[in-house]
Chains A and B, each alone.
Chain A
C-alpha cells in the first residue's frame, strides 16, 4: 500500500511497552475529539473519542486524555503490539462542523 505521510513525526516503541501519542489542537471552541488509526494502504479507522466535558476516557488497551487548558490531546496505548504500527491522527470539531484532522504521528513498533 501507499506510504502515508513520509515526513511525519515518528514514535518508535519496543513491543510490550506503552506508547503515548500527542496532539495539539488549534480551536479552543472544539468540543469533540477523535483518534483514528491508519494502516498502510487502508482508510482511517476509528479508535476512541472524547467529549470536552471529560478529561479521560478508556477503551480496550487505549486511553485518551484531554487537557483543554493547554489544548492538548494524547492517546496512550498499553502493551504496544506489532499490529499497532500505523499512522495515528487526532481530529477535532467545534460542534456540527466538519472534523479537522491533525498531521498524524507514525508509530513504529520494534519487535
Chain B
C-alpha cells in the first residue's frame, strides 16, 4: 500500500458525460500528479499540482481539468467524454515539487470506461 488513495476504483459512464476522479496523497506529500494509461500505452503525464498550485502540464486535453485543494487532495475532472477516454487514471504524490530523488508514489488507479 503506497498511502495514496483514489476513488472511485471503477467508473462506467456514457459519451458526452462528465466525471470527477479523486485522489488523496500520502500524508506530508505536497505534490500530486495525474497520469493516463491506455491499453498498449505507457503512462502519459497529464498534470502536476504542488501545494495547491499548478506546477507542470503534460498532454492534458482541454476537456480535462484538475485542481488541488487546501487539504492537498486533488480532483481530475473529465468532461464531454469520448470513447477514447476509456483508460486507467493514476494519481501519484511526492514530498516536494518533483525532479531528482523526489520519488512519486502511485495510487491504485481509477478505471474509466466510456460506453
Contact = CB atoms under 8 A, between A and B. Distances in A.
Given A43-B2, A45-B106, A96 B45 contact: no
A110 B92 CA distance: 31
B88 interface: yes
Contact of B42 (A34, A43, A102): A102
A32 B103 CA distance: 11
B106 A43 contact: yes
Contacts of B104: 46, 99
B106 A93 contact: no
Interface residues of A, number: 31
B84 to A, nearest CB: 16
Interface in B29-51: 33, 37, 39-45, 48
Contacts of B107: 43
A5 B100 contact: no
A-B pairs with lowest CB-CB distance, top 4: A43-B106, A96-B99, A32-B100, A101-B43
Interface of A: 2-8, 31-32, 34, 36, 42-46, 49, 51, 89, 91, 93, 95-104
